[in-house]
Every structure is written in structure tokens, then in C-alpha cells.
Structure 1
């Protein structure tokens, strides 16, 4: 009997671990910071902190302390009432969040593209020293913003897109996708693919208004997506729509 009990407990623990899912979050209630504790207690040692406006991941459960991970990889525990789950925000608030981040990403990417154009391919040098400095700063800014703001939201956006059928926000995302120099990244392509599989008609309609060269770029990606729609993809799409 003891052996059976041990097996049941082990199986239950494995099941809980398998079903636990990290979710994107931010600090709730307008607080300026959130401490990450080493253990599930307010008396536990503080091993890190998260600032207002920063995203992080949590694994919600029935406890009042949730496992948390900062985008830099710091892991610990945070008090659940101090956490606001991004995918649980009201639709209007979620739309504003997406819109602001996408527009900021696009603006930084446009600036990066403009500064990059000042590099002479024939002379293999910058027009001025200040251009070289600005290029490095803008490249660093774009990389940081994408990593800390844009990329994390891309995991949440397809579910919103499938449920809200928001053509305006989809247009903002697709224009950001085209402009961003990081559009070849796996995160961005995966987000686009999930949106396309959910509503290909809407995505293609929006793309039809883009310049011809951009349409060709998007069509190449669409062709690769259409070749790889498996049954499990359809199940995932159905879950996002529910």
C-alpha cells in the first residue's frame, strides 16, 4: 500500500508540473517595484526586484506566493496580489498596451533604419562620427526594447487577435512587422503565423494595402505557413478562439 501511495503522489506532482504554465505579468496597483523572494514568505531573503512597467513571468496556482521569473532570468517568488496578468486585462486596456508597444517598436525601428542608411557601402564608412555613435545607441535601444517589451507581448497577442478580431491593431502589428529590422526573428514570425492561421482572410486583406515589395515579403512567409498547418495547429487555434 505504501508503494502505491508513493506512486500516486509522484504522478500527481508530475501532472501539476506539466499543466503549470508561465504567464506574462506586470506589477499591479500602481506600485513602483516588486520584490522577488527566495522562498514563499515575506520574511524570506530578497534576491531581486522588478520595476514598474517591466514585464515578468509567473506561474499562478492556489497558493498566495507564485513562482516568478524576471526577463533577465532571476527566479523566486512574488506575492500574488501584487501581480497583474497581462492576458487577464480588460480588452480595452490590453489593446492600448499592445498599440503603445507596437508603435514604439516601429518608431525605434524606423529611426534605426534611417541612421543605418547613412553608412556608405561604397566607402565602407559612416558619413560622420556622430552617425556611427547614434547607430550604436539606436541599435542597442532597439534590441533592449524588443527584448523587454515587444517580444514578450508577441506570445499574448495572437490569443487577443483571435478573440477580438481587431483589424486596426492587426494593421499596427503587421506594419511594425514589416518595418522592424528584427522581423526575421523567430518570435515575430511565430506571432504572425499564429495570427494568420487564426484568420488568414483578415491578414491577407490588410497586407493587400501594403506596398508591393512588402506584399511579396509577406507572401513568402505565408507560403511557408500554408505548407505547415498540422492538426495540432488547428487545435491550438480553436483554443485561442474560445
Structure 2
């Protein structure tokens, strides 16, 4: 475990790369009630062309698939929603996808390690079927159409499209209605297996916790 001290800000940061490649960061905040955790993968909407893990030839996936994958991670094999357990423990959970990152997070004042175990568990438990993927397409299509009515969002993306002719940053993070309806469970698993591995991910936690106990719990999870 490496301890990094910033004398100017009077802050400490602990870092360790685990055996499985996960980068773990912890910042203690003594006296603070709320604890915050974010588990992120180096994978966003820009990553449309890549060589899948275990393969040798590059592929191009459908636009918006990183955002689609984020949505599907909350659906568990027993058909429950990952948010349900967070609510039971009094935690507030969320997720987001941007151009380069997909992140899953929660904040809580109690039951922190239960929530942390659950965070690792559901992010490491993909469950994609033809049925639940098809159901999600309509939900995301409605989300895309909602943004079509947002003037600020449209001005921003039209400006990006004018500046970038070839770069995937010009593609809406959620994709298009047409591209979303082309996504399959096989394509989702290919993206998940390529990018959702510990060596491509990082965990950052901040709160009133003991560093050694925290790292022990992370390694068990």
C-alpha cells in the first residue's frame, strides 16, 4: 500500500494495485458521516472500434452500446434490480457513461461494506438475454427522444459534430434509435468481457474508514 501526502491540501491518499490488476484508491476523511465509492472502467462511448479479448481482428460495434451496457448491469440473474439492495441498506446508488468512462457509484452513511460488496458483485455479474435486451431498447430509445427536445444538448452536440468530422466524440453517448435497436446480447457480452476486467478498472473510495480494514475488505470482495 502506497501512501501519498499532499501537504498543501492537508490530504492523504492510499493506493494499491491488486494482484488482479484493479487500481484501488482510498482517501480518508476523518469526522465525515457520508462515504462515497465509485467503480469505473476505462470504457466509454468513444470505444466503437477495438480488438475483442481473445480475438485477433478488430470489430466495430453499434453506437451507444457502452451506455446500453451500463443500463443492463443493474438487472440481476434472479430478475431483481441492483438498486433494491442499496435502498435496503440506506444507500443512494447511480451510474453514468461518458465518452471515455463508465462508472458505478454509491454514497451512504451506514452499511458501507455491505454496499461495497454488492457494488463488486453486480458489476461482475452480467446477465443479458434476448428478452431483457429487447425490452431495454425501447427504454433507451425513449431516453434518446427526450434529449431531442433539449435545446442545450442539441446545440452542444451540433457544435461537436461541426468540429469533429471523423472522431467518435461526434456520436451521441446514447447512440441513435436505429443503432440501439441493432444491439444484441452477443455484442454486449463481447464488450463486457473486453473492457469489464479488473486490469481495466479502478475503485475510488472516500470517507471515515481505516485504510488497512478497507483494503482487506476490497481484496476479499
Q: Give me the TM-score of the superposition, normalised by structure 1.
A: 0.27
Q: Give me the TM-score of the superposition, normalised by structure 2.
A: 0.28
Q: Which has the larger radius of gyration?
A: 1
Greater share of residues in helix:
1
- Which structure has the higher relative contact order (CA within 8 Å, separation 6+)? 2
Greater share of residues in strand:
2
